[in-house]
Structure 1
Amino acid sequence: MMALDFVINKGITPTFIWGSFDSVLVIGNLRYENVNKCSCFTVSAHQRAIIPVEDQKPFLHSAYQNHSKGFHRDINMLPKPLTSIDDSSSASDGSKVRVAYQGVPGAYSEDAALKAYPNCETVPCDDYEAAFKAVELWLVDKAVLPIENSADGSIHRNYDLLLQHKLNIVGEVQLRANHCLLGLPGVTKKELVSVVSHPQALAQCRTVLNDLGVDKVRDQDTAVAAKTVAINCVRHTGAIASSRAAEIYGLDILAEGIQDDDENVTRFLVLAREPRIPGTDQPYKTSIVFSLEEGPGALFKALSVFSMRDINLSKIESRPLKQRPLRIVDDSNHGSSKYFDYLFYIDFEASMTEPRAQNALVQLQEVVSFLRVLGCYPMDTHV
């Protein structure tokens, strides 16, 4: 098994490691070799990095069976979502990749999973935390989770979970929203009195819904909304969901592409236990997270290591550092002031195989107190 391990500590020569078991490559002060461990990239001024021992894959029983992606006559036969405390799943015969997503069958996250792995077995999860844990506990092979939307911004919960769990980003999926107005068979748009869906979907289809003059009812998920309409069999209630949700739950598509913005795109991350071996065969992206040493211009110094090497930053996201949320700064005239400490998540467009990316990270360690590579993966250029 091939793996990537990238560990940097204060006062320790940085080492970048990947490849096959019998190869070692040294470029400058960068040493490439093989390890069979989970990936961990950490910089700490107070603690040496610890590389965890590879997990043992547990035996999995058949609580969750593969399911058809077509119409289900009996909705109760659909796979039940995993929860964050589940410890069971079906054993894989190796013929399909098992991919976890948040939601129920027909969710846009499932569409993203199928775009990433067209022949995969999708596994629904109750929440984002459950999807992370499903990968860690070997219940599934991958997880596909949303990280940002062009209309509504970042999904902060998943940024926080990226740091709390030791999974690797191995890919990304960009999925264009195609919101459909769904109803029971034979129902027309004029019969609808209310429409149920996720709050974001309702907001993204405001123009059409206002023209219809219907009540907007919030639900936890678009696919859950479609399922609710199918189960309750109320003719005057419609749902906003995907065309796959209509097929799965036996609903008619009353109108398609009803979103206000046709360029509404959601970006998803593909997560796995082992990192992807980076290459140069196609455009690659690298995701990192770091916190800064105290001092003026620290963020400018951190970002300049990429600018001076012509490395484009495609995403910058900041999140409060929960372990040390506030920093006291003395002021001789007005007493003390309190400032937030932050974690900075950055995506930059370069492969870890490129010397410019390696040198940028080596220089970055000089101005940060913590640094972790979340993954290096091909960019999704097809929306």
Structure 2
Amino acid sequence: MSLKVAFQGERGAFSEQAGYAFFGDKMSAVPLPTFEDVFKYVKNGRVDFGIIPIENSLYGSIHQNYDLLRKYNVFIVGEVKLRIKHYLLANYGVKLSDVRKIYSHPQALAQCEDFLKKLRNVEIIPVYDTAGSAKMIKEKKILDGAAIAGKQAGIYYGLKILKAGIENHRKNFTRFLILSRKKIIAKENPKTSIIFVTKNIPGALYTALGVFARRRINLLKIESRPIIGQPWNYMFYLDFEGSVADKVCSDALRELNELANYYKFLGTYEKGREVG
């Protein structure tokens, strides 16, 4: 049985690679223009799952997707940590010395900054998607330009590799989240993600985090985001080890809910493995 899985970008995108790493051959890829489209398709049941990047190990969080997790009623049901390997791709017949323009997503360009600095007389042009840059130079038959994208994009669009492994650091991973409209509570190696807003009183965040510290629950990540319409007030995204089905965790969340002005459960899912 195939599973329709939505992702932002063109075929060959890193999100698609992460999807195949998680779902295997059961995945039927559904490329979409924007991250918000992915959330809408999941929420409306037009796909079985969605996959979004949430954090890069070198360059931090994708804040737009944190905000969309708050906005849409979908659940996190899995994660995968994909090794990001960047390739300089070009049409056949193009040599590195021919390249005068390099296209890619701004984050990919940043992740390859050390390589790009070594080039001379080359214009760096940001575009909306890594795989989209590969598709563009193929469809437009650009012979003085190259794209930075994943190897799979090169295979998919019939491009050759001018240079492999051009990322700044080999330990370059992006963490992707699997989204579903249905809540699925993982039993093996679980972690849980939530959102909460503290009351505007001294020590509120300290007290909120204390509900986990007293129960010796290991916190994995905390991320703050501004509350739209309330300048200088913030909501917190929190990941911790354990399941909402465990009494110690459910007791902590019940106490937190009593302390907080706002609380939202995002999901209990299996910790993702590193792939690629």
What's the TM-score bracket when you normalise by the shorter of the two chains?
over 0.9
Residue 55 of structure 2 corresponds to: 148
Report Cα offsets for 1:312-353 as digits up to 9, x if no partner. 111111112225x04xxxxxxxxxxxxx22111100011122
Residue 3 of structure 2 corresponds to: 97
Higher relative contact order (CA 8 A, sep 6+): 2
Q: Does 1:292 align with 2:184?
A: no
The match for 2:65 among 135, 158, 164 is 158
Once residues 278 and 206 of structure 1 are traced to their aligned partners in structure 2, the CA distance between those partners, rounded to angstroms, is 39
Residue 28 of structure 1 corresponds to: none
Percentage of matched positions with identical amino acids? 43
Q: Please tell me the residue identity of whatever aligns with 2:269.
A: Y
Q: Does 1:240 align with 2:240?
A: no
Q: Does 1:249 align with 2:141?
A: no
Residue 254 of structure 2 corresponds to: 362
Q: Does 1:308 align with 2:214?
A: yes
Larger Rg: 1
Structure 2 residue runs without a partner (length 5+): none
User: Equivalent residue of 2:194, what SS?
Assistant: strand
Query: Shift of residue 210 of structure 1?
Result: 2.3
Once residues 165 and 357 of structure 1 are traced to their aligned partners in structure 2, the CA distance between those partners, rounded to angstroms, is 24
Query: Shift of residue 193 of structure 1?
Result: 1.7
Q: Please tell me the residue identity of whatever aligns with 1:343.
A: M
Query: Shift of residue 356 of structure 1?
Result: 1.6
Q: Does 1:344 align with 2:236?
A: yes
Task: Give the conservation status (yes or no) of the 8 Å contact 2:86–2:150.
Answer: yes
The match for 1:130 among 12, 16, 37 is 37
**Higher helix share goes to which structure?**
2
Structure 1 residue runs without a partner (length 5+): 1-94, 327-339
Task: Give the conservation status (yes or no) of the 8 Å contact 2:83–2:174.
Answer: yes
Q: Please tell me the residue identity of whatever aligns with 1:245.
A: A
Number of residue pairs aligned between Structure 1 and Structure 2 = 273
Residue 212 of structure 1 corresponds to: 119
User: Equivalent residue of 2:196, what SS?
Assistant: strand
Residue 224 of structure 2 corresponds to: 318
Query: Shift of residue 234 of structure 1?
Result: 2.2
Task: Give the conservation status (yes or no) of the 8 Å contact 2:112–2:167.
Answer: yes
Query: Shift of residue 219 of structure 1?
Result: 1.0
Task: Give the conservation status (yes or no) of the 8 Å contact 1:168–1:374.
Answer: yes
Once residues 234 and 375 of structure 1 are traced to their aligned partners in structure 2, the CA distance between those partners, rounded to angstroms, is 44
Task: Give the conservation status (yes or no) of the 8 Å contact 1:113–1:144.
Answer: yes
Task: Give the conservation status (yes or no) of the 8 Å contact 2:130–2:147.
Answer: yes
Task: Give the conservation status (yes or no) of the 8 Å contact 2:197–2:234.
Answer: yes
Once residues 112 and 381 of structure 1 are traced to their aligned partners in structure 2, the CA distance between those partners, rounded to angstroms, is 11
The match for 1:276 among 184, 193, 198 is 184
Once residues 128 and 356 of structure 1 are traced to their aligned partners in structure 2, the CA distance between those partners, rounded to angstroms, is 34
Task: Give the conservation status (yes or no) of the 8 Å contact 1:190–1:212.
Answer: no
Q: Please tell me the residue identity of whatever aligns with 1:241.
A: A
TM-score w.r.t. length of structure 2:
0.95
Residue 4 of structure 1 corresponds to: none
Task: Give the conservation status (yes or no) of the 8 Å contact 2:83–2:274.
Answer: no
User: Equivalent residue of 1:366, what SS?
Assistant: helix
Q: Which runs of 4+ in 1 moved over 3 A?
A: none
